[in-house]
Structure 1
Amino acid sequence: MKFLIEVDCSPEEARQFIGLPEVAPMQKAVMETIEKRLVETIGSVDSKTLLDNWMPLSLKGMEQWQSMWNQLATAAAGMQGKPRSEKKS
């Protein structure tokens, strides 16, 4: 036997009915704190320092990427003149 019960209520009404706590004031306080910290952090960050910290990493990464492709191209060019060895059974 199956019963299907459909309840039409808002999330707030369901939360009250089930007995869950009201978390909206806590969420608001947490979001205000996060926003305040974010604004303070953004205000204290010097863009020049940030770029100086990031640029060496990105340039180093690009050099490594280029080096990898050079090694692959060199390996591929070295294999072009060599005949494939045949498998012997």
Structure 2
Amino acid sequence: MKIHVDIDCTPDEARRFLGLPDVAPMQAAVVEEMQKRMLAGLQAMDPEQLMQTWMQGMLPAGMQSWDQMQKAFWAQMSAMASGGDGEKP
């Protein structure tokens, strides 16, 4: 035996019938707060500050600037060019 029940109602009507809470106002408030925070974060970061933030995350902990990275690179290249293995004794 098969029983087929077709209920025609809106999602809001189904939610109320099942006794579920209405979260639409809370969701709207959360989305609005997220938008405010994202826009404030975007306005506060200029391109130079953004690049510095990205580069600090990409460089090893001991190298906090491009200058230090370049010096380390050139030291390794000089050691390899002089026939050394690049490691300090």
- Tell me the TM-score normalized by structure 2: 0.55
1:23 deviates by 0.6
Q: How does 1:22-61 map to 2 (within 5 A)?
A: 22-54=22-54
- The Cα offsets for residues 5-63 of structure 1, whole Å up to 9 and x where unpaired, read as 11111100100111100011100110111011011100111212223454795xxxxxx
Q: For this pair of structures, how many residues does the alignment match?
A: 57
Distance in structure 2 (CA, Å) of the matches to 1:5 and 1:41: 51
Consecutive aligned runs of 4 or more in structure 1 exceeding 2 Å deviation:
51-57
Structure 2 alignment gaps of length 5 or more: 59-89
1:77: which partner in 2?
none
1:2 deviates by 2.4
Question: What is the CA RMSD across the aligned residues, in angstroms?
Answer: 1.8
- The percent of aligned pairs where both chains have the same amino acid is 46
Higher relative contact order, chain-length normalized (CA < 8 Å, sep 6+): 2
Structure 1 alignment gaps of length 5 or more: 58-89
